[in-house]
Amino acid sequence: MNNQKKEEIVKHTLFIFSTTASLLLILIIVFLFNEAGRLFTEISILDFLLGTEWNPGKGLYGAFPFMFFSLIVTAGALLIAIPLGVSCAIFLAEIAPSWARDITRPVIELLAGIPSIIYGLFGLVIIVRFVKITLELATGETLLVGSIILAIMILPIIISISQDSIESVPGSFKKGSLAMGATEWQTLRKIIIPAALPGIFAGVILGVGRAIGETMAVVLVLGNSENLPHLVKQLLGEQAAGNVIQIINQIPEIMLKPGEALTSAILLEMGPAEVGGIHYSALFAMGVLLFIITFILSVSSNIILSKSQINLK
């Protein structure tokens, strides 16, 4: 056998191996949709997405409460993680002397390496107790604690992607601004941050994906009560656009109540659910929902990142 032929064979074999990732993705889609499909022979997609009642015993499979809680917890996490993460990224990219960078970088890598179950354990034992005592609540297992833990967990990804995009702003921009007499902060605010904004946004989107998909930490600290806050339910029933504002007004109060995320519901109910039954299928439908959300977030973050790199060039 000559070399060319050998090379061809190796090339084709390697091609087959390299399709594994794509194949896996397709398989995941096929299996999830296949298992989830059975639910929709029984109830409509709208009942699943907008139904506010989840009671498998009575055949009610409204996943809205879980989506609501997942969304609120993630939003809360972003509120904490974006300012902290972006300013830390600015620090690393622009301000820090090299010794400070040498300390901070490994710290962020370590934070990213801590398993989620340990974040959950820490959250349950320390933050839940702390919130309960300082805010004098009946239970510390609240959406607020979920947001705090998730914020810590998504910090590394927001920091590393923001830092990359801040560092990729051409040095000439900065020098030009400083030469005009602007201070470092003015340069950051008016030149560097605007130029790096798409990259920062991409990092935040990836962070959202992580937060929505996070399971183990959330299941330990949220308290796992799927009951929608009474007020939200009441206001949803009345179906008026103005009510959205009222719900938003209630959010600080809702943050101090327990909840249950999509991911926790799957984890907690898979044991009792009968295999192949409707309940089982409904849990897979939640998995499909999570998959679709994270897929869209990941793809859009990639598009933003690649476009922003072209723009900066």
Partner 1 sequence: MISSKTTNKIMKGVFWISASLIIIILFLILGYVFSEGITALDYSFITEMPKDNWREGGIYPAIIGTLILVAVALLFAVPLGVLTGVYLVEFRREDKLTQCIRVSVDSLNAVPSIVFGLFGLSLFFYYLRDLTGGPTILSGGLTLGFMILPTIIRTSEVALRSVPLSEKLGSYALGATKLQTISRIIIPSSIPGIITGVILGFGRAAGETAPIIFMVVLNPVLPGFPYLFSQCNALTTQIYYLTSEAVSIERAFGMAFVLISIILISNYFARLINKYMARNIKR
Q: Which of residues 40-79 bind partner 1 (CB under 8 A)?
A: none
Please report how close the Cβ of residue 64 comes to partner 1 at its closest, in angstroms: 19
| Strand blocks (E) in the chain | 54-55, 60-61
Please report how close the Cβ of residue 96 comes to partner 1 at its closest, in angstroms: 7
Residue from the set 45, 49, 79, 95 that interacts with partner 1 by CB under 8 A = 95
- Give the other-Cβ count within 10 Å of 22's Cβ: 9
Q: Rounded to an integer, what is the distance from CA 78 to the centroid of its chain? A: 9
Question: Are residues 218 and 120 in contact, defined by beta-carbon separation less than 8 angstroms?
Answer: yes
Please report how close the Cβ of residue 84 comes to partner 1 at its closest, in angstroms: 5
Q: Is 32 an interacting residue with respect to partner 1 (CB under 8 A)?
A: yes
d(CA 255, CA 37): 34
Please report how close the Cβ of residue 250 comes to partner 1 at its closest, in angstroms: 28
d(CA 88, CA 166): 11
Q: Is 17 an interacting residue with respect to partner 1 (CB under 8 A)?
A: yes
Amino acid residing at 34: N
Nearer to partner 1, 156 or 229 (CB): 156
Q: Is 98 an interacting residue with respect to partner 1 (CB under 8 A)?
A: no
Please report how close the Cβ of residue 231 comes to partner 1 at its closest, in angstroms: 29
Binding segment (CB under 8 A) for partner 1, from list 47-55, 238-246, 248-256, 288-296: 288-296
d(CA 135, CA 249): 19
Please report how close the Cβ of residue 34 comes to partner 1 at its closest, in angstroms: 8
Q: Is 203 an interacting residue with respect to partner 1 (CB under 8 A)?
A: no
Q: Is 118 an interacting residue with respect to partner 1 (CB under 8 A)?
A: yes
Q: In the beta sheet, which residues pair with residue 283?
A: none
Q: Is 199 an interacting residue with respect to partner 1 (CB under 8 A)?
A: no
Q: Is 180 an interacting residue with respect to partner 1 (CB under 8 A)?
A: no
Please report how close the Cβ of residue 55 comes to partner 1 at its closest, in angstroms: 21
Nearer to partner 1, 203 or 229 (CB): 203
Residue owning tokens 């399971």 = 215
d(CA 156, CA 134): 28
Question: Are residues 186 and 177 in contact, defined by beta-carbon separation less than 8 angstroms?
Answer: yes
Q: Is 309 an interacting residue with respect to partner 1 (CB under 8 A)?
A: no
Nearer to partner 1, 113 or 242 (CB): 113
Residues in 132-171 at the binding interface with partner 1, rule: CB under 8 A: 152, 155, 159
Please report how close the Cβ of residue 234 comes to partner 1 at its closest, in angstroms: 31
Residue from the set 113, 171, 237, 242 that interacts with partner 1 by CB under 8 A = 113
Nearest to 92 by CA among 101, 83, 102, 79: 101
- Give the other-Cβ count within 10 Å of 135's Cβ: 11
Q: Is 114 an interacting residue with respect to partner 1 (CB under 8 A)?
A: yes
d(CA 251, CA 71): 12
Dig out the tokens for 60 from the structure: 């009610």
Question: Are residues 226 and 265 in contact, defined by beta-carbon separation less than 8 angstroms?
Answer: yes
